């Protein structure tokens, strides 16, 4: 039997079946972006749980079906990803209805028997990826697929594998690193066959495996073509953006120029390929332009800045518009949509809602509501209000604080003054309608990650400008990928390409972040800007599944530069949600900030 390259080492194929999701998962992925809960026979199954690969992988259509199955399995991880990243951090807290596993997760109590410490659902998807990548190699060697078609499919699958390994390494530190196609998930725990690698080693392996990615295919894929799969069109939102994944790997590995380059490629590719039609250009796509009445885009604006009752909170439409909506696509470039009656079902209603099907298992922490969103001052008027928080990311429902960011499809929507969306929490119209979204990558996050990389690359001026006022009317030129020109007075092809960049806090109509007194020099500025960006990430992307990773990434970076400083930083953020409730806060250190994985 011949050996096939698996990107990290040669392996020998031993099995003829792929561990796969149920048919509904693959069908759902077709229905996601065409809005119809109908699907033809996407995967021929012999027993409902496995695919006989000898009858598949004959051409690129078979490869595409495998990719859809992989993404269907990935969708089933939404509750684990969200809770691991948010409940372990400072934005979410437990309720009286929390499960024992959720309480232990919140309190940082190590227990390998915790449901959330079982990595087999993650490895099930990874083994699907390994099997698909193996067969893509076989197809290429047998001339069943062109090199171009191979490259696209390699990228679509490798993005999932790298993204999942990064998630596991963030939370568990030391994990088995498996690139072979296996029949049983339990086999990954055999130390004689698969090395257990640290977070640092996992990052190195992932970067080495993903770097062969051809440039310029983040938004492109043969899957995103009407008729590719049983005459259904697949939206680009379902396929992980490859440059974003690669940028995140570099950012975690403290390769700041490389990370910024990848993030910048997302912007450049969107502009060059005119992904969203004639209206798209660089400044509209991902640089957060200022609000206008004629074209509000996804802004938070105030018709009367001194009176928040005349708020036009267009930012809320990020979480209420359809994935195919042209306005939404200016902001969100990776999301999954869960429709009722399909597998996997949407679990976040049960976790967050306190009406109908909701069990109200977790809630926004009191500290986060009071000290983050409710502590932000509007620009120029001193009003305390951040419209990304109350009534948008969370709200009071039946006198209880509820995360509503995932409930915009669960409650009926009503349009109030100035076209602002409101949710009818009293309605029972959709109590059995378990539909919702999972937001993976969007423009707000892209701007934050790019600014973080630029800051640590030595350009805090650029990062601070993106955080506060944006690049409109400002030129900053530190060379590619740190050349942001927003002044129309400059001549040349790149003149004023960032002229409509409004800045993260300006978009939210929030006062600029100002340096505290301890900032006395250049290195102090970098440290402060980094912390300001992480705070802004909580305000902009709260509850979206990034918070623990954001905190830990900066914690590790700080500790590497100044022993103990990162540990102090992490505890200063985690402790307040406990102390405000009169509870003892856990003491977190490099010895206990990783979870203990289940090995059975």
Average pLDDT, whole number, for the chain?
Answer: 83
Main-chain phi, psi angles of 90, to 5 degrees = -110, -5
**Dihedral of the alpha carbons of 306, 309, 310, 314, in degrees to the nearest 10:** 110
Query: By C-alpha distance, which of 96, 107, 103, 142 is closest to 586?
Result: 107
As given in the structure block, the two tokens for residue 498 are 């960032």
pLDDT at residue 24, as a whole number: 35
Main-chain phi, psi angles of 381, to 5 degrees = -125, -10
Burial class (CB in 10 A: 0-12, 13-18, 19+), 352: buried
As given in the structure block, the two tokens for residue 38 are 């109908």
As given in the structure block, the two tokens for residue 63 are 């490869």
CA distances from 406 to 338, 342, 392, 499 (A): 11, 18, 10, 33
Give residue 29's region: left, alpha or beta (phi > 0; psi -120 to 50): alpha
As given in the structure block, the two tokens for residue 397 are 């429902």
Q: Find the helix or strand (DSSP H, E) in which 351 lies.
A: helix 348-352
pLDDT at residue 244, as a whole number: 92
Total residue count of the chain as it appears in this document: 600
Distance of CA 436 to the CA centre of its chain: 15
The 3 state secondary structure assigned to 52-81 is: EHHHCCCCHHHHHHHHHHHHHHHHCCHHHH
Distance CA 115, CA 97 (A): 16
Distance CA 416, CA 474 (A): 37
Query: By C-alpha distance, which of 272, 291, 294, 293 is closest to 282?
Result: 272
Distance CA 176, CA 254 (A): 23
pLDDT at residue 365, as a whole number: 98
**Dihedral of the alpha carbons of 174, 176, 179, 182, in degrees to the nearest 10:** -160
Sorted by where each begins, the domain ranges of the chain are 3-274, 300-442, 447-579
pLDDT at residue 547, as a whole number: 98
Pairing between β-strand 50-52 and β-strand 3-5 as defined by DSSP bridges: unpaired
DSSP string for 354-383:
SSTT----EEE-HHHHHHTGGGPBBTTT--
| pLDDT tens profile 574-595 | 999 999 989 999 999 999 999 9
Are the C-beta atoms of residues 230 and 30 closer than 8 Å to each other?
A: yes
Rounded to 5°, the CA angle 411-414-417 comes to: 145
DSSP string for 520-575:
-SHHHHHHHHHHHHHHHHHHHHTTSS-HHHHHHHHHHHHHHHSTTHHHHHHHHHHT
How big is the chain by its Cα radius of gyration, in Å? 23
Q: How crowded is residue 586: how many other Cβ atoms within 10 Å of its Cβ?
A: 16
Mean pLDDT per block of 10 residues along the chain (600 residues) reads 39 37 38 33 33 59 88 95 98 98 96 95 96 94 90 92 98 95 88 92 95 68 50 66 94 98 83 45 43 70 71 86 78 86 85 96 98 93 89 96 96 84 90 89 91 98 94 91 86 75 86 96 98 98 98 97 95 96 94 90
Distance CA 325, CA 297 (A): 12
Are the C-beta atoms of residues 428 and 386 closer than 8 Å to each other?
A: no
pLDDT at residue 42, as a whole number: 30
**Dihedral of the alpha carbons of 53, 57, 63, 64, in degrees to the nearest 10:** -80
Q: How crowded is residue 212: how many other Cβ atoms within 10 Å of its Cβ?
A: 11
| pLDDT tens profile 308-344 | 777 778 888 889 988 777 778 778 888 998 988 776 7
Q: Three-state SS for 475?
A: strand
Are the C-beta atoms of residues 361 and 103 closer than 8 Å to each other?
A: no
Are the C-beta atoms of residues 168 and 252 closer than 8 Å to each other?
A: no
Distance CA 155, CA 67 (A): 11
pLDDT at residue 556, as a whole number: 97
As given in the structure block, the two tokens for residue 46 are 């012999």
Burial class (CB in 10 A: 0-12, 13-18, 19+), 25: buried
Fold of the domain spanning 3-274:
1.25.40
Please tell me the pTM assigned to this model.
0.90
Q: Three-state SS for 250?
A: helix
Distance CA 332, CA 441 (A): 6
Q: Three-state SS for 600?
A: coil
């Amino acid at each position: 039997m011949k050996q096939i390259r698996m990107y990290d080492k040669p392996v020998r194929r031993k099995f003829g079946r792929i561990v796969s999701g149920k048919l509904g998962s693959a069908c759902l992925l077709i229905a996601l972006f065409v809005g119809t809960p109908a699907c033809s026979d996407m995967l021929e199954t012999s027993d409902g749980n496995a695919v006989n690969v000898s009858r598949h992988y004959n051409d690129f259509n078979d490869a595409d079906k495998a990719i859809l199955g992989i993404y269907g399995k990935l969708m089933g991880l939404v509750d684990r990803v969200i809770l691991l990243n948010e409940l372990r951090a400072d934005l979410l807290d437990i309720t009286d209805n929390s499960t024992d596993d959720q309480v232990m997760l919140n309190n940082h109590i190590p227990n390998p028997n915790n449901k959330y410490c079982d990595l087999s659902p993650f490895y099930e998807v990874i083994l699907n990826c390994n099997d698909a990548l193996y067969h893509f190699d076989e197809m290429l060697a047998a001339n069943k697929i062109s090199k171009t078609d191979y490259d696209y499919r390699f990228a679509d699958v490798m993005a999932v594998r790298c993204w999942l390994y990064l998630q596991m390494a963030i939370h568990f530190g030391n994990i088995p690193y498996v690139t072979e196609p296996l029949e049983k998930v339990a086999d990954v725990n055999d130390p004689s066959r698969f090395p257990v690698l640290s977070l640092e080693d996992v990052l190195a392996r992932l970067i080495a495996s993903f770097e062969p990615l051809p440039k310029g295919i983040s938004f492109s894929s043969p899957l995103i073509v009407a008729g590719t799969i049983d005459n259904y069109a697949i939206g680009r939102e379902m396929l992980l953006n490859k440059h974003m994944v690669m940028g995140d790997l570099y950012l975690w590995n403290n390769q700041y120029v490389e990370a910024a380059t990848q993030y910048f490629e997302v912007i450049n590719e969107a502009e060059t390929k005119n992904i969203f039609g004639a209206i798209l250009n660089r400044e509209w796509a991902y640089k957060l332009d200022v609000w206008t009445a004629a074209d509000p885009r996804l802004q938070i604006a105030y018709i009367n800045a001194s009176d928040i009752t005349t708020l036009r909170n267009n930012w809320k439409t990020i979480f209420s518009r359809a994935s195919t909506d042209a306005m939404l696509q200016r902001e969100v470039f990776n999301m999954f949509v869960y429709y009722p009656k399909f597998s996997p079902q949407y679990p976040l209603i049960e976790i967050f809602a306190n009406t109908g099907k909701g069990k109200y298992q977790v809630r926004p922490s009191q500290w986060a509501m009071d000290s983050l969103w409710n502590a932000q001052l509007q620009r120029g008027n001193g009003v305390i209000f951040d419209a990304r928080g109350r009534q948008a990311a969370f709200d009071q429902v039946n006198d209880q604080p509820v995360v509503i960011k995932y409930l915009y499809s669960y409650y009926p929507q009503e349009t109030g003054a100035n076209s602002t969306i409101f949710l009818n929490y009293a309605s029972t119209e959709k109590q059995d309608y378990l539909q919702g979204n999972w937001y993976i990558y969007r423009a707000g996050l892209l701007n934050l990650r790019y600014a973080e990389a630029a800051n640590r690359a030595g350009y805090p001026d650029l990062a601070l400008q993106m955080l506060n006022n944006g690049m409109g009317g400002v030129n900053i030129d530190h060379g590619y990928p740190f050349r942001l020109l927003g002044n129309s007075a400059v001549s040349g092809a790149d003149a004023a390409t960032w002229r409509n960049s409004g800045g993260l806090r300006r978009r939210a109509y929030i006062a600029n972040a100002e340096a505290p007194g301890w900032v006395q020099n250049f290195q102090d500025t970098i440290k402060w800007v980094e912390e300001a960006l992480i705070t802004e990430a909580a305000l902009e992307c709260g509850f979206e599944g990034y918070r623990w990773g954001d905190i830990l990434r900066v914690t590790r970076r700080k500790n590497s530069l100044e022993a103990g400083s990162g540990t102090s930083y992490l505890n200063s953020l985690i402790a307040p949600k406990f102390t405000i409730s009169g509870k003892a806060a856990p003491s977190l250190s490099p010895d206990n900030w990783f979870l203990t994985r289940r090995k059975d």
